[in-house]
Amino acid sequence: NAGVTQTPKFQVLKTGQSMTLQCAQDMNHEYMSWYRQDPGMGLRLIHYSVGAGITDQGEVPNGYNVSRSTTEDFPLRLLSAAPSQTSVYFCASSSGRISGANVLTFGAGSRLTVL
Amino acid sequence: AQTVTQSQPEMSVQEAETVTLSCTYDTSESDYYLFWYKQPPSRQMILVIRQEAYKQQNATENRFSVNFQKAAKSFSLKISDSQLGDAAMYFCAYRSLQGGSEKLVFGKGTKLTVNP
């Protein structure tokens, strides 16, 4: 199993450009989420989804859009990139059961630089 | 909203020694989960250990153990017999059980250096 796959691993954008970070999981997980990691800030939740067709905002959603048309995919879109969006982005998924035993499986991360 | 505080931005330990990383959190909930994640230079987030708040027994995973003090809202990680491969950023994280969400709230991390 590939787990959680993020593409691209690295990307450089100019201010105002748009792009999509791709995230795919092959574990049939219901729950998927996007975090950003900035130096000295830990990881902060951007958006999450509890199933196909359902998305919600996290702690830092501004400037990002998401959609969940399939169970497997959860892309993160930057419509007009800003230097403040320079960060490392992580996609994570879990089976979504409320038992609490579930652990988030993280992708390898995508480093985005906005000039 | 819940918050997680890691008061040690950096720590160092000699190989084979023991080190303890601190984590405190703020919540009004009685049931929740706590996690420690390791992030080596490869950037991959790796689960080290987890603790369920309703369990009084401290979790252990081989050389890793926690000291969970629910009343004090403290969740420290002890690494015994430190190895060079333990060098990484360590993040403490909180997960609420309300709303059925898998959302994690992370601390800012502690960078652990292991000296040979």
Position B54 scores a pLDDT of 87
Does A68 score more than 80 pLDDT?
Answer: yes
Structure letter (DSSP) for residue B108: -
Does A2 score more than 80 pLDDT?
Answer: no
User: What's the pLDDT tens digit per position in B71-107?
Assistant: 999 999 999 999 999 999 999 999 987 766 678 899 9
User: What's the pLDDT tens digit per position in A17-40?
Assistant: 999 999 999 998 989 999 999 988
Position B45 scores a pLDDT of 93
- Name the percent of chain A lying above pLDDT 70: 93
Does A1 score more than 80 pLDDT?
Answer: no
Chain A positions touching B106 (Cβ under 8 A) are 35, 42-44
Position A100 scores a pLDDT of 52
Chain B positions touching A98 (Cβ under 8 A) are 97, 100
Which of B96, B102, B106 has the highest number of chain A CBs within 10 A, making it the mutation to test binding with A?
A: B102
Chain A positions touching B104 (Cβ under 8 A) are 43, 45, 104
- Name the percent of chain A lying above pLDDT 90: 77
User: Does any CB of chain A come closer than 8 Å to the CB of residue B50?
Assistant: yes
- Arithmetic mean of pLDDT, A43-56: 93
Residue A30 neighbours by CB under 8 Å, 6+ apart: A50, A51, A71, A94, A95, A96
User: What's the pLDDT tens digit per position in B7-48?
Assistant: 999 999 999 999 999 999 999 988 899 999 999 999 999 999
Give the CA count within 13 Å in the CB-facing half-sphere of B46.
14
Q: Which residue of B has its CA nearest to A32?
A: B102
Between A42, A98, A104, which is nearest B100 by CB? A98
Does A103 score more than 90 pLDDT?
Answer: no
Q: What is the Rg, in whole angstroms, of the alpha carbon atoms belonging to chain B?
A: 14
Scored b (16 or more CB within 10 A) or e, A29-41 reads bbbbbbbbbeeee
Whether A12 and A87 have beta carbons less than 8 Å apart is answered as no
Position B70 scores a pLDDT of 94
